[in-house]
Structures are given as C-alpha cells and as structure tokens.
Amino acid sequence: MALACAAHARRFLLGGPARSFHAQPYQAKVGVVEFLNGVGKGVEAHAAKLEEAVGGDLQRLLVARTLRLKKLGIPCKHRKLILSFAHKYRLGLWKPQADPRKVE
C-alpha cells in the first residue's frame, strides 16, 4: 500500500509517469532531409526533389498539399506517409529520432 502511494505521489509531484521508458533522443534541428530520414520507408529517396521544391524550408513542406507532391512525381504511398507524418509533427505527436529507422 505504501509503495502504491509513493508511486502516485511521485506522479503528482513530478507531473509525469512514475516509470521512465528509454526514449530515443530527438533531432535538435529538423530540416527537410532530417524529417524525411525520420519518416523512413523509402521516402528519403525524394529528399533532393522536395528540398529544391520547398527551398529547404520545413514549414513549407508541412503545409504542402497532395497535388503539389503529385506534380513533383512522388508516388501515392510516399505522399500519404509524408502528409501523415507532417500532420503528426504539426500536432507535436511525433519528431524525427536521432537514429534513422531501420528498413527491413
């Protein structure tokens, strides 16, 4: 009982979970290339094309629409991944990790 109360007190005082899970460190500065490397799944192959189109500005990539990506010649599956991860990034639910994902 005392152990359970200590865990709840720790959660209340620290404002977070009582347990710490080992999270990967995040990129400090996120650019277009780092963003696409974080998405992985073959999307990083379009890094040069996208960086030239948006001028290296990540904010312009985050507000890009599917038609603009389609005009750049990016396949549907990759467009869907880019738009999905851009939405998560804007909401603060996802950030690219320091180590890129392993593609198997």
Domain annotation covers residue 1: no
Domain annotation covers residue 42: yes
Domain count, the chain: 1
Domain annotation covers residue 17: no
Domain membership of residue 76 as a residue range: 32-91
What is the predicted pLDDT for the residue at 43?
95
Domain annotation covers residue 81: yes
3-state secondary structure of 92: coil
Please report, for the domain that includes residue 69, its CATH number. Answer: 1.10.150
What span, in angstroms and rounded, lies between the C-alpha atoms of 84 and 30?
17
pLDDT digits (tens, 9 = 90+) for 28-84: 678 899 999 999 999 999 999 999 999 888 999 999 999 999 999 999 999 999 999
pLDDT digits (tens, 9 = 90+) for 29-43: 788 999 999 999 999
Domain annotation covers residue 47: yes
Q: Cβ-count burial of 46 within 10 angstroms (0-12 exposed, 13-18 middle, 19+ buried)? A: buried
